[in-house]
Amino acid sequence: MHGMISRPPEAAKNIATSRVVLLLLVVMTGIAPISLYMLVPALPVLATNFGSDISIAQMTVSLYMVGIALSQLIMGPLSDRFGRRPVLLGGLTLMVLASVACIFAQTLPELIAARFLQALGGATGMVVSRAIIRDIYERDRVASMISLVVAALMIGQMVSPLTGGLIETAFGWRAIFYAITIAAILVAVGIAVALPETRRTRAAGSGFRGDVGMLIRNRAFVGYVMCQVLASQIIFTFAGGGPYIVVTQMGRTSAEYGAWFATTGFAYLVGNLLCVRFAPRHSLERLIWLGLGLQLCGSLLNLLWSFTGWNEAPGWLFGTQMIVMAGNAFVMANSAAGAISIRPEAAGTASGAMGFLQQGTGALMSQFGAYLGGHSATTLPLTSAVLAISLLCACMMIFVVPRRELMVSETLIEQAEEEESGMM
């Protein structure tokens, strides 16, 4: 039969309750973004050590996100074709080699190139983990499991800038890459030992071009993806401008910036935990709109504080951003669940397309955020950008996602399965 399998295979059901597999989903998802944020507090030091402009040092972050974007575009379809395990292990091997190259980089261009390859390999876990979640969990649990994985991930990710700042202060910036190398090796070993193959059986006629064609012709898929991508740009824009506002405008240390940034990660963690609790009992539509409401309210407040000058102190700026991030968790998890549930057989391709757009656009928005933070005397340009993105995100749900398809799951997927069955 040329079509989807409506239920996870029996072997997948058996590992769905495994705590070891859940832990592996968390660490394989987190290895790339944690590696990204660990270096962020050290950017001013990199610019000084290599004698470069701060915008050049920022490319170690921006091109890293380009690497993440390309990785997801490539690795997602590969995991649908060849399996989750071999693609994961190949990507992590590349990350280890690139991390070693970062340690021995003698020039900033060498470091930037190695960081790109580091991201290309490390981001494999981000795209494949979402596909594995769709492989092993029933469709009505996908949103809650994505939120659970992200919530656990955030415990580590929210302290990664602080950890990176402390490592740089104590041992220098190269020590950050020693830590990343060791972490990547441990994750690869864990996958090799404890993660079974979960990919669904594919019929002979299915392939990348057919999967992509069916997905891009589906308005619900496009709408959910764009909503998720735009929500993620709030994070990238704020993360790009945050270090320059706190360190340059406010005169604080990179370690202190890491501590303040961790508060937004904590809010994102809380949002995901709440999503885990609410997802089984509420529709995707309701949870997405709850998140959009929080994003808009927080963005408006921060813009108001910019006009009054209150958020020139980090407590006001980051305190209000926490509201935005709590809502962001609802929007991103449920939009992602909607997107990858449109065609479960092609979960890797759907996840990869979504991740590519998210990270590719994020590379530009991070650079844009850095420009707003580094070339302004107030927080107003950055908070205005966050509000504009929040409004665009809401527009995707209003104008792109068809009303009759806002509730993904049972009706939508059963219809897709019937259409696929008719192609036997």
Give the 3-state secondary structure percentages of the chain, helix then strand then coil, rounded to 5: 85, 0, 15
How many other β-carbons are positioned within 10 Å of the β-carbon of residue 310? 17
Single-letter residue type at 384: S
From the list 30, 194, 233, the residue with the least C-alpha distance to 122 is 30
d(CA 16, CA 37): 30
Give the DSSP H/E element, type plus range, for residue 314. helix 314-340
Break the chain into its structural domains and give their ranges: 10-421
Cβ–Cβ under 8 Å, residues 40 and 240: no
Distant-in-sequence contacts of 5-10, Cβ < 8 A, 24+ apart: 5/200, 5/201, 5/344, 5/345, 6/344, 6/413, 6/414, 6/417, 7/138, 8/135, 8/136, 8/137, 8/138, 8/198, 8/200, 9/135, 9/198, 9/200, 9/201
Tokens at residue 230, please?
A: 């735009």
pLDDT at 137: 79
At a CB cut-off of 8 Å and minimum separation 6, what does 238 contact? 264, 321, 369, 382, 386
Task: Count the residues in the chain.
Answer: 424
> How far is Cα 221 from Cα 385, in angstroms, rounded to an integer?
26
Is 84 in contact with 124 (CB distance < 8 Å)? Answer: no
DSSP class of residue 247 equals I
Query: In terms of Cα–Cα distance, which of 24, 192, 186, 25 is closest to 95?
Result: 186
302: nearest Cα among 235, 414, 382: 382
Superfamily of domain 10-421: MFS general substrate transporter like domains (1.20.1250.20)
CA 127 – CA 67 distance, rounded (Å): 13
| Alpha carbon 185 to chain centroid, angstroms | 21
Bin 8: left if φ > 0, else alpha if -120 < ψ < 50, else beta. Answer: beta
- Tokens coding 202: 């594919």
What averages of pLDDT result for each successive group of 10 residues across the chain (424 residues)?
40 63 87 88 84 79 85 87 90 96 91 94 89 78 79 71 87 92 94 85 61 84 93 92 86 82 86 86 87 96 91 89 95 88 78 82 85 86 94 93 55 43 39
Kindly give, in sequence order, each residue whose CB lies less than 8 Å from that of residue 304, ignoring residues fewer than 6 positions away. none
Query: What does the pLDDT read at residue 58?
Result: 80
How confident is the model at residue 350, as a pLDDT?
85
Q: Helix and strand tally (H, E) in the chain? A: 19, 0
Which pLDDT score is estimated for 3?
A: 35
Cα-trace Rg, the chain:
21
* Cα–Cα distance measured from residue 229 to residue 232, given in angstroms and rounded to the nearest whole number: 5
Q: Are 98 and 117 in contact (CB under 8 A)?
A: yes
Residue 419: the pLDDT is: 42
* Cα–Cα nearest to 268, from 160, 141, 356, 147: 147
Report which of 344, 404, 410, 355 is spatially closest to residue 140, judged by C-alpha positions: 410
SS3 309: coil
Chain centroid to Cα 263, Å, comes to 18
Whether the Cβ atoms of residue 345 and residue 8 lie closer than 8 Å to each other: no
Q: Terminus-to-terminus CA distance in the chain, angstroms? A: 5
The dihedral region occupied by 107, where left means phi > 0, alpha psi between -120 and 50, and beta the remainder, is beta
